[in-house]
Structure 1
């Protein structure tokens, strides 16, 4: 069946797809939102980058981003990167056993159902458009590097000159 790592990889890709208008997202930003450690995120993102599902950029303003159109990336594309057992072609396993009542053919049929089902869903199916609008407006107001707004300077409440000082003393 599908491992927890693969489920986390799907969640990471859905999160990145939802943040595509915000630019590159760092693992430091993703870690608290997805409740995953930074090193675990990097282990997930490395094979996804190697298979051109996500792109990475180093340096200031860098991070990870979904590569390409999210309506063309199926959930199966993400799953097949991390699941070796589901990645086997049916023709290789079909020669092992022609009897449909054996466990091997049952597993093969189950894998085909999983593959077909996951191929029918894309990342676009899981991205919430209302959150996408919020992210876009956040980027427009905060900028590409997501700096926090500066705190208003504190104005001292003291006299500005000796004349004001003498007026306060009287």
Structure 2
């Protein structure tokens, strides 16, 4: 487990990426969401490992990318400070399980640990919006949120809901929670 690795997860379109960008602006190390990177690469190269085309292939790639991100962050962990992950291994493995029924979350979650306190973006319909990289609707985003909210405690994580506040206030909330322990 790496105590300085902070996972930000939850509902798609719930403001996670904006929060991560704000934390980066404040000087923290951040890791961009694997899914968005994969979608950009697949769209640029006419690939098919897209969540709306082949969820299993997409999730398989997301697992590989999230593991590589975790390992890369671990190799550079000596610098100190927080590293914030916009989604991670658990998210990718959960999507893979949902697509295939193959049980992969628990073994991957045991090997690639984050800080025990995970920040969870709740469904927030007022800010949820689709784009070229996020084509699913709000109902699918809520299903994803519920799946993650259910699995994280079974893996030994405490979840803290992100408040529905402006992004600067959300960042202050996260940093204060981490400083308290």
TM-score category (smaller protein): under 0.3
Q: Which has the higher strand share?
A: 2
Between Structure 1 and Structure 2, whose CA radius of gyration is higher? 1
Q: Which has the higher contact order (CA 8 A, sep 6+)?
A: 2
Q: TM-score, normalised by structure 1?
A: 0.24
